[in-house]
Amino acid sequence: MDGFVPWPEEYAHRYRQSGYWLDRTITEVMDERFRRFASRTALVCDDGRKFTYEDLGRLSTRLGLHLNRLGLRVYDRVLLQLPNTAEAVISYLGTLKAGGVPIMALAAHREAEIGHFAQLSEARAYLAPAVIRGFDFQEMAEALRGLAPSLDLVLVSGGPARPGNHRIEELLADPIEERVDAGVLPRPDPDLPAVLQLSGGTTGIPKLIPRTHNDYVYNFLRNAEVCELDEATVMLIPIPQGHNFALACPGLMGVLAGGGCEVLSGSPSMDHLLPLMERHRVTHFVGVPTQILALLNHPKRLEHDLSALRCILTGGSKLNPEVALRIKPELGCDVQQVLGMAEGPLFWTRLDDPEDVRMFTQGRPQSPGDEFRIVNPGTGEDARPGEMGELWCRGPHTIRGYYRAAEHNAKAFSPDGFYRSGDLVRLHPSGNVVVEGRIKDCINRGGEKISAEEIENHILAHPGIANCAAVAMPDALLGEKVCAYVILHPGKDLTLPVLSEFLLNTRKIARFKLPERLEVVDAFPLTNVGKINKKALRERIAAECQVASGGS
């Protein structure tokens, strides 16, 4: 795994001594649970299927053996792009069993993103749906092979495989473990990357985040403790399964570590989720604040029996205090806030914290091994208590560098290994942090991060556009959406639908990144050093949105 930045020996030693790093692979920890809780239900799907722990163990070994037979080798990178289905869960676990390193792509990603990840990682395999809403992923796979010659294995789920590709459901129906001993499967080094997560993104090119077995196992085991998960836990996580929040914070792996059950939903719509919550007596609902608001405000909520609900776990963007305050009186359950990042840092409020901490802060580090600083971005010195500054983190589950990104790493990490999060926070007197804003240039669309530079690069490729700036505009539902300010070449004109068509069909980007407003201007406001003044643009669009919504 060239291009991976390990923890310095001194820290690795400390994390082992402290008992954070167990030197066990994710597969070893999961297999232990598959045996311990064998007959318990691990997964229920919205199509009625149920899987016990024993089923998950058997089927993931089976897929691992098939991948091994098809030529997948230890540390080979595997693009996983499956929606929230049992096949996705088994594909993730099976890839790990084969020694492969899954790259947790989103179902919404298209050729621009997947092609980039495939090239950067030299991925060997691609696991995808056959078709979703008319989009043919096997056709995209053909284009990917041209971009990344390393890609020689394509597996699909939910539809027939084209010649040369394999169907995941068919492999899962073939008990290869009766012919081949599971002892052929390799054991990866727990100090090497187990999973490649995707960065929220502040750069033109999205980054991959290497999470090692040691770091990720500790991440979800500790997280399951902090959220007090156990065999009674029934968790619904209607966010993409590959996202760090849904996978490991505490997510799928945290639920399985505790012996609980995850309810999988193919749709994030509240109309679909409410009956699922009632039917399966969901105890934990995980969502970004937009989803918590949708739950609170749903007109039919009171028609459903949600009496099993014990806790809402929310993060990804800031939970408005007014929304936080409604949870207990209206849903009758607790809330735990998390400030999380795919790079690893996790700040959680605790269930027994005083009310002001639970409602108004984003928590404190989940591990006693975590260190953080709040740094004045101007001086580089620690901010005074209560003063706003950039959050820097270092710890047993915070990476020391992005994968194959040496140049960017020099900026994103301090020389002594702190990850510079780009988030602006201040310290609450209780020792918890409160998120106040950010200095990184990205747009947080309902928890989904969009790098301004990345979308600007795609917009600038349009022949009519001379210059552009993508900024966040406020949105009542999602918090933020992308607004594109553009300067056109003389004599050109452009509308939002034309720009969207170009971004989707020519640039082939994921739909959630599309600008939702286009502002054509003659010039940009500049800062005194001559850069585009994005702050001024953000203020301008915020003022216009307020006028449009009748605010004062």
Query: Which residue pairs, CB below 8 angstroms and at least 24 apart, start in 145-151?
Result: 147/115, 147/118, 147/119, 148/115, 148/118, 148/119, 148/122, 148/123, 150/118, 150/122, 150/123, 150/124, 151/79, 151/118, 151/123, 151/124, 151/125, 151/126
Kindly report the number of other CB atoms within 10 A of residue 9's CB atom.
8
Find out whether 286 and 245 touch, Cβ atoms under 8 Å. yes
Q: Measured from the CB atom, is 275 or 321 closer to ligand OOB?
A: 321
Taking the least distance from each CB to ligand OOB, the nearer of 315 and 395 is 315
Cα(191)–Cα(66) distance, integer angstroms: 25
Tell me, what DSSP letter sits at residue 505? I
The number of beta carbons lying within 10 Å of the beta carbon of residue 520 is: 14
478 scored as a contact of ligand OOB (CB under 6 A):
no
Site pattern 398..427 for ligand OOB (x: CB under 6 A) = -----------------------x-x----
Site string for ligand OOB, 213-252 (x = CB under 6 A): -------------------------------xx---x---
Q: Which of 394, 426, 449, 534 binds ligand OOB (CB under 6 A)?
A: 449
Query: With CB under 6 A as the contact rule, which of the stretches 165-173, 292-300, 340-348, 352-360 interacts with ligand OOB?
Result: 340-348
Nearest Cα to Cα of residue 335 among 291, 302, 298: 291
The one-letter code for the residue type at 186 is P
Question: By C-beta, is 85 or 444 nearer to ligand OOB?
Answer: 444
Residue 339 interacting with ligand OOB (CB under 6 A): yes
x/- letters, 99..118, toward ligand OOB (CB under 6 A): --------------------
- Binding span for ligand OOB by CB under 6 A among 98-106, 107-115, 310-318, 535-543: 310-318
Are 235 and 245 in contact, with CB atoms under 8 Å apart? no
Which of 487, 496, 475 has the alpha carbon at shortest distance from 521? 487
Residues ≥6 apart with Cβ < 8 Å to 87: 157, 158, 168, 169, 172
Report the nearest approach of ligand OOB to the CB of residue 337 (Å): 6
Pick the closer one to ligand OOB by CB: 283 or 337.
Answer: 337
DSSP 378-427: TT-SBPPTT--EEEEEESTTS-SS-TT-HHHHHHHB-TTS-EEEEEEEEE
Binding mask 245-284 for ligand OOB (x = CB under 6 A): x---x-----------------------------------
Binding mask 358-397 for ligand OOB (x = CB under 6 A): ----x-----------------------------------
Number of other residues whose CB lies within 10 A of the CB of residue 198? 21
State yes or no: residue 46 binds ligand OOB (CB under 6 A): no
CB of residue 334 to ligand OOB, shortest distance in Å: 16
Q: Is 315 in the site for ligand OOB (CB under 6 A)?
A: yes
Coil, strand or helix: which one is 362?
coil
CA dist., res. 523 & res. 532, Å (int): 10
Q: How far is the CB of 260 from ligand OOB (least distance, A)?
A: 18
The residue (of 151 and 246) whose beta carbon lies closer to ligand OOB is 246
Output the six-digit token pair for 278.
């009632």
The one segment of 12-20, 171-179, 335-343, 469-477 that binds ligand OOB by CB under 6 A: 335-343
For ligand OOB, the nearest residue by Cβ is 340
- 200 counts as binding ligand OOB under rule CB under 6 A: yes
**Binding to ligand OOB by residue 342, rule CB under 6 A?**
yes
Judged by CB, which is closer to ligand OOB: 58, or 318? 318
Longest distance between any two alpha carbons in the chain, whole Å:
72
Find all residues with CB under 8 Å of 539, minimum gap 6, and list them.
none
Helix (H, G, I), strand (E, B) or coil at 52: strand
Would you count residue 340 as binding ligand OOB (CB under 6 A)?
yes
Among 338, 357, 399, 470, binds ligand OOB (CB under 6 A): 338
What pairs with residue 484 in β-bridges? Answer: 470, 518
Shortest distance, CB of residue 479 to ligand OOB, whole angstroms?
9
Q: Which residues bind ligand OOB (CB under 6 A)?
A: 200, 244-245, 249, 315-318, 337-342, 362, 421, 423, 435, 438, 447, 449
